[in-house]
Chains A and B, each alone.
Chain A
Amino acid sequence: MASIDITDVRKAYGAVKILHGVDLTIQDGEFVVLVGPSGCGKSTLLRMIAGLEDISAGEIKIGGKRVNELDPKDRDIAMVFQSYALYPHMTVAGNMSYSLRLRKTAKEKIAKAISGAAEKLSLTPLMERRPKALSGGQRQRVAMGRAIVRKPKAFLFDEPLSNLDARLREHMRGEIKKLHQDLGATSIYVTHDQIEAMTLADRIVAMNAGIVQQVGSPLDLYDRPANLFVAGFMGSPAMNMFEGVYRVANGGSVELAQGIVVPLAGPASTADGTKVTLGIRPEHVVVGKDLAGGLAAEIDLVEPTGFGTILHSRAFGRDVKAFSLERGLAERGDTVSVSFPVERIHLFDTASGSRIG
């Protein structure tokens, strides 16, 4: 196992810049998830760590050793691909033992390693099958097995669950987490699915347009998003965002459309009259009848999820989403009162997107 140090790493294809200088240190044994929309550069970064893409500038160290110039085979890392990339002409055992055979490991050692991994992943009865004869979930497990038999310095996962159906994905997510707890291996996991990121990560690295937006624990990112991008990306249903103007009066408040003024918990570190964006997660929006300080809202869509209810409403000329565990709170066409508890409000500078309170 090893730590991974990424220092000012950049990637450009000709004039097109993909990564604009990424700095990141991954501790030994840590599970780090790179998350972001497609095209944000997360997969490129992972492939650069693996050695599948050249590093245009900057430095990557694995276990303290610079690997920029090393071929993938000399970096001692294992990778699980979205497509699984199982060798179709080899059996499960053949797939899992390939890396060890390349290293001329003794036969008994190989047999021991793959039977151990097979047991861990419940693949033992499938060892003589070809990938073609396996289900999606089984293929996924073989890909994991191929990675773990090697005891590499680090595991890289490139959207490994994206090709599975929802139920299996949830199951495999748990397996991956358990496996990490067992092995304690340094892992970097790329996904565009924020639920995967939240559930798996020790630390999340949120990326957008080739720039790291925020690094922190899952709950850090959820509770204190550093900017508008992270606030909007993490959480489903997504956070409500309302543009307005900051007012210093009354210990800090935001003036929204139609002259609506929402009080803040305290003064924000910005000047009176600054354009700001007020964010509040749907589950924090309080919905009721005649709430004190509430805003009138008309419900135009009710989405029951079984687990709770998503209410879409219209207030002060804006769409306001609320999520409630209660059922039957309102019907379509009802007029209700919504309020934004001050301690739940996120405030961002609209121009820079950064968090200011």
Chain B
Amino acid sequence: MVFTSEEFLLFFLPLLFLIYFAVPAKLLQVRNAVLLAFSIVFYAWGGVRYLALFVLSLAVNYFGGLAVGLFKNRTLKKLSLVLTLAVGLGLLGVFKYAGFFTGMLESAGMIDRAVSFALPIGISFYTFQGLSYVIDVYRGDAACQKNPLAVCLYVALFPQLVAGPIVRYTDVERELVCRTHSFGDFSDGAVRFMLGFGKKMLMANPMGEVADKVFSLTGTSLLTSPAAWVGAAAYAFQIYFDFSAYSDMAIGIGKMFGFKFNENFNYPYISASVTEFWRRWHISLSTWFRDYVYISLGGNRCSAGRHIFNLSVVWFLTGMWHGASWNFILWGVYYGVLLILEKYVFAGLMKKIPKPLSHLLTMLIVLVGWVFFRAETLGDAVIYLSAMFAGSPDFREAEYLVRQYLPELVLCFIGIFPVKRLIGSFFEKRGDRAVWVVTGEVFGKVFAAAVFVLSYAKLVSGSFNPFIYFRF
């Protein structure tokens, strides 16, 4: 199920509100059970057959965590961790990467036929989330959770289940057993949800239409240079507003039920370097790799050579995590190389470049990266990039797209900047902070409600509603 669907808005959410809040607040375990039951329905909506794998994954994490936490013997502890990691990553490997690797073997003539499975929704997210719990228990950062309901709810909690943000166990450990609910939190969550809903419906989806249209022209004479640039820019807008909208909605829903998830995006398109971009983009994934892979490998407290190796491994894995194809691997390696270059080659130069120029350069790099990310194959990505930089200058398609989607393009352009923050600091500078807080309090809610109504109109009037991050 997706948040931006009628069945979610008209049935799932209101029924959950009615049942969840009908349970007295002191019976938190019952409320948790309600949340878990709804989360399982939410997941099963994509097909009940995928539930078995999901339940297996939950069981592996629960028993893995239990074993790691309860064994006093260091070797047994480690063995339990390795086993849990092997099963968790093994399941991810089989369901996500079997087709890719056996496909390569098939191409090399080493096997007769490639083996592949349907990709279970959200497997990359819930696998990483579950493993982080077991690793945290092993490291002693979190206590072993004996209550299976709490572990299952942590992994299965529907707001972040299928598309993140990847919530760390330590962040919600306390809330799973003791959390408060208030009108303030619920209202803030509702506002966040409605604004995320609007981002998805009013910004990401229209940009997705543009990107899909242009990328579908790859390999034809219709993919002109202006159209390719418009398509790449539209995709950059789409992926940001789509993914961050999902995170907004997840954070918002979490808040309505008393959970406080960390932010996943921080205006990445205002970055002036690739390093900064990755500090602002998909923060929960970056920090996951930082804490569980990069630091485990030795981080940056080592020789330059070893550091470069560590970065290379992390970015290779980041690419792989996004998908089982060469495009994603290359996309990860592309960023790995750029980050290494920024750190070891261009560090001095970057300080001298004027900020607007370094910002433009960063955006150009990001745009090129998105082409690898969006193209169906590596060959398509090369064709697309060729069209961008050396294609026909025919403006007709681009002109149509810009005229047709001008309101959304303008909205997206404004949306990449921290407008609310800027307005707030404007009032603060004038000494009108109180005015801004009050206005923001009331106006923000009215604005969110208006956006929600417009988005609902868009939802019922359109059939174009894919969620990009569901494929990961």
Q: Do A and B come from one complex?
A: no
Q: A residues touching B (Cβ–Cβ < 8 Å)?
A: none
Q: B residues touching A (Cβ–Cβ < 8 Å)?
A: none
